Amino acid sequence: MLRAFLAFDISQGVIGELLKAEEELRQTRADIGLVAKENLHFTVKFLGDVPDGVASEVDKRVAGLGLTSFEVGLKGLGVFPDLLRPRIVWAGVDAQDEPAITERAEAVIEAMDGIGKPEERDFVAHVTLGRVRSRRNVEALTSFVHANGSRDFGRTRTTGLKLKSSILTQKGPVYADIREYALK
């Protein structure tokens, strides 16, 4: 079995800006597990635990999509589910660019119907920066998120969709690229 998901990567320049925000999040002294540099991405579809041979089925389904490359701006910090109960801290996509990523992501999600875990919620374009582990200093965290609600992290060009594996360890997840599908 393989714990897998599909994702769009982010440019190194934008990753650098996201890491600056993570360092500032750390300074709030909130109890938050920050995402490692190499794990920053847009999750498109979490497949969950799937058979090892699933990659060939994903290959077939992605090949028929004809996805094109796109560019989006990352803008603003937010939390899921809300500021009263923050669990996930994320960087969002500039509103004008949301259709570009959402249309492609929804096409991928639809193509993966029947593979792995069923979709539980609508796609929301975001990059997870951290997971809140407790309420310690949550006021400082939510204040920081509120103050950075329209922060600009730069633009990223996406030229590929990746099938990634995820191995959970005590130090956090370790991701590996299984396949990359070039966008036209």
The mean of the pLDDT values for the chain is 96
pLDDT-derived band at 47, boundaries 50, 70, 90 = very high
The predicted pLDDT at position 121 comes to 87
The predicted pLDDT at position 116 comes to 92
Between the CA of residue 136 and those of 28, 32, 35, 172, what are the distances in Å? Answer: 10, 9, 18, 20
Residue pLDDT, tens place only, 114-157: 999 888 889 999 999 999 999 999 999 999 999 999 999 999 99
The position carrying tokens 């589910």 is: 81
- Tell me whether residue 126 is one of the annotated catalytic residues: yes
Number of domains in the chain: 1
Short-list 105, 101, 109, 89, CA closest to 155: 101
Helix (H, G, I), strand (E, B) or coil at 55: helix
CATH number of the domain residue 89 falls in:
3.90.1140.10
Q: Highest mean pLDDT: which of 14-18, 50-54, 118-122?
A: 14-18
pLDDT-derived band at 171, boundaries 50, 70, 90 = confident
Between the CA of residue 89 and those of 31, 139, 150, what are the distances in Å? Answer: 12, 13, 14
Q: Residue 172 pLDDT > 90, yes or no?
A: no
- Tell me whether residue 146 is one of the annotated catalytic residues: no
Can you name the residues that pair with 163 across neighbouring β-strands? 6, 179
Q: What percent of the chain is predicted at pLDDT more than 70?
A: 100
Between the CA of residue 178 and those of 137, 146, 166, what are the distances in Å? Answer: 38, 37, 10
Sort 19 into a burial class: Cβ within 10 Å, 0-12 / 13-18 / 19+: middle
Show the domain range for 138: 2-182
Sort 56 into a burial class: Cβ within 10 Å, 0-12 / 13-18 / 19+: exposed
CA distance 176 to 114: 23
Mean pLDDT of the region 36-57:
94
Q: Reading across the β-sheet that carries 126-132, which strands appear in turn? A: 32-34, 126-132, 88-93, 70-80, 152-158
Catalytic residue among 126, 141, 144, 165: 126
Tally the residues of the chain. Answer: 184
